Amino acid sequence: MGWQQNMIQPVLVTGATGFIGRRVMAKLLSEGICVKAIVQPETAIPKEWGEKVEIIRGSIADAAVAGKAVRDTGTVLHLAALVSDWGDEARFRECTVEGSRYIFEEALQYGARVLLVSSVVVYGDAIPKMVCSEETPFGKTFGPYSRTKQAQEKLAWEYYEKKGLRLSVVRPANVYGPASGTWLHDVAPVLKKGLPCLISGGGQNAGLAYVDNVADLILLAASSDAALGRAYNACDVLDISWKTYFSDLAAMLQAPEPRSLPWLVAKTGAGVFETLWRLLGIRHRPPITHEALNLVGSDNRFPMDRAAKELGYKPRISYAEGISRVGEYIRLQKYTVHGHF
């Protein structure tokens, strides 16, 4: 796709040890790009990085760390955010919003270009109602993750419009692949226990995006002049339903066929569970949340016309190949109904 020649180096990656971040890092390193990464003090450095990455230990929520990391950087790939459909909103805001403010401020000071990895959750309650192009207005949000991702992106555009930050945005849809937290590790125990994970039969489009395809678009948008001041959906635009995806996972996990709940039962349950969890101060996620329901209970339609037209983007990895790689990962991890990672 030609991004290698156009990427301004060094490249700083936040969220580099996360699910998408590790694939971005692998692609950068395979092309010999000069890379820096902010890594939390307690997080192990992936062995495949070797000595090829400049490591800045700390959190983006620390202004001094952000300043040290962004200094002398050409491009910032900003993936770091707290990812969950439940948790302390103050923690989400500290990392996702205030941490981003430090990154944007330092990038502005040092003249670095920023690629923000946002999320389709910024569309909020528009997701079940319509096809969400990049021009779709932000909708009502349902939890701390979507609220703070929306606030993060609004802040980014404020820096672009009012201060001149060199910005591009990619909004990944439901990203699957080997080692996915949300769409593999979190779902697998539900499937293994035979608990419901589909809504109203699961015929809705899952809006899937294979992780390597998302990483490709991130790198392409971060290195293209045409992408400055633009936002792009990142979705494979497949005719794959939640039932198909979860059934494929269940087969690989040697788990029962996925069960379903009526939408009204799931919505009522989300309200009850969230209320109880707040009253009791329970920290782990409830069995179902409005945040999750907005994705799993909806037809996820995120067109890719803009990225195709402006950047020449086309996803390389098909669903057949992507789900096969997930299956191989499961086999290697010996993760079946009778075992665990």
pLDDT surpasses 80 at 326: yes
Reported as a single tens digit per residue, the pLDDT across 258-280 is: 999 999 999 999 999 999 999 99
pLDDT surpasses 70 at 339: no
Q: Above pLDDT 90, what percent of the chain?
A: 93
All structural domains of the chain:
3-176+207-236+301-316 (3.40.50.720)
pLDDT surpasses 70 at 323: yes
- What is the secondary structure of 238-289 as a DSSP string? ---BHHHHHHHHHHHTT-PPPEEE-HHHHHHHHHHHHHHHHHHT--SPPS--
pLDDT surpasses 50 at 235: yes
Reported as a single tens digit per residue, the pLDDT across 162-183 is: 999 999 999 999 999 999 999 9
Name the packing angle between helices 99-110 and 144-158 (round to 10°). 20
pLDDT surpasses 80 at 301: yes
pLDDT attached to residue 336: 56
pLDDT attached to residue 2: 80
pLDDT surpasses 60 at 141: yes
Residue with tokens 């202004």: 63
pLDDT surpasses 70 at 337: no
Average the pLDDT over 310-336 and give the result: 93
**Nearest in space to 99 (alpha carbons), one of 87, 121, 116, 111:** 116
The lowest-confidence range among 80-89, 310-319, 320-329 is: 80-89
pLDDT attached to residue 334: 73
Confidence band, pLDDT 50/70/90 cuts, at residue 341: very low
Confidence band, pLDDT 50/70/90 cuts, at residue 138: very high
Q: How far is 332 from 205, CA to CA, in rounded Å?
A: 29
Chain mean pLDDT for the chain: 96
Q: How far is 17 from 120, CA to CA, in rounded Å?
A: 21
Average the pLDDT over 150-168 and give the result: 99
> Tell me, what amino acid is at 239?
D
Average the pLDDT over 322-330 and give the result: 97
Reported as a single tens digit per residue, the pLDDT across 212-231 is: 999 999 999 999 999 999 99
Q: Above pLDDT 70, what percent of the chain?
A: 98
